[in-house]
Amino acid sequence: AQSVTQLDSHVSVSEGTPVLLRCNYSSSYSPSLFWYVQHPNKGLQLLLKYTSAATLVKGINGFEAEFKKSETSFHLTKPSAHMSDAAEYFCVVSVENTGGFKTIFGAGTRLFVKA
Amino acid sequence: DTEVTQTPKHLVMGMTNKKSLKCEQHMGHRAMYWYKQKAKKPPELMFVYSYEKLSINESVPSRFSPECPNSSLLNLHLHALQPEDSALYLCASSQVEGARWNEQFFGPGTRLTVL
């Protein structure tokens, strides 16, 4: 079955320290992968996407993610957390389905940033 | 213009009311989506419109009735809702439906409360 798993439901970091949000996927084919961020009571905003051009993908607000096929992972990182990074993060995979591709959302990881 | 707009931002309705949610995009996207999101959960797909035709209905109860009057507009008509339908309703759009590199653009959502 094709799926996406976010390994942590909550992550807490101190401001200025690195952020790591983990995502593993299961797909029969080479997937396309996305990270979205959602601030409270807001819509989802695309942070970055993997489109097979490069395994290290840089996104907005200093985030980046590395596609590792051997580990079926697409972890999101940021060198230094900011208070404004506190939000919900969704790893999303686009997998092959009947007649096209289907979007599957991970369960989400809530990022807390302490002052 | 890379924005998806939704109105109203908040809606409170009784179980016998009829109301509508509205979504608009001017990016020339030909696929539009309705999602329902409960607290601390990822968005759940409800409907997909592709080239103004209903493409996917994820077994949504008939008290939710989508409509796509033109390529820029998407409505969700609500009637006889239940309290458990209270949620954040998100609209999204993408260039086309079912493409591998399908990046979706989300609106800010309508916070619906059913009394």
Q: Is B45–A44 a contact, with Cβ atoms under 8 angstroms apart?
A: no
**Interface of chain A against chain B, CB under 8 Å?**
32, 34, 36, 41-46, 49, 51, 90, 94, 96-97, 99-103, 105-108, 110
CB–CB of A17/A80 below 8 Å? Answer: yes
pLDDT of residue A1: 67
Largest CA distance in chain B: 41
What mean pLDDT comes out for the span B37-65? 93
> What stretches of chain B show up as alpha helix (H) in DSSP?
none
Q: Where are the domains of chain A?
A: 3-114
What's phi and psi for A85, nearest 5 deg?
-80, -10
Q: Is B42–A32 a contact, with Cβ atoms under 8 angstroms apart?
A: no
- B90 pLDDT band, cuts 50/70/90, is very high
A61 secondary structure, DSSP code: G
Beta carbons within 8 Å of A32's beta carbon, 6+ residues apart: A49, A50, A51, A52, A93, A94, A101, B100, B101, B102
| CATH number for the domain formed by residue range(s) A3-114 | 2.60.40.10
Per-residue tens of pLDDT for chain A, all 115 residues: 678 999 999 999 999 999 999 999 987 777 889 999 999 888 999 999 998 778 899 999 999 999 998 999 999 999 999 999 999 999 999 877 777 778 899 999 999 999 9
pLDDT tens string B6-46: 999 999 999 888 999 999 999 999 999 999 999 999 999 99
Given CB atoms, is B24 within the 8 Å cutoff of chain A? no
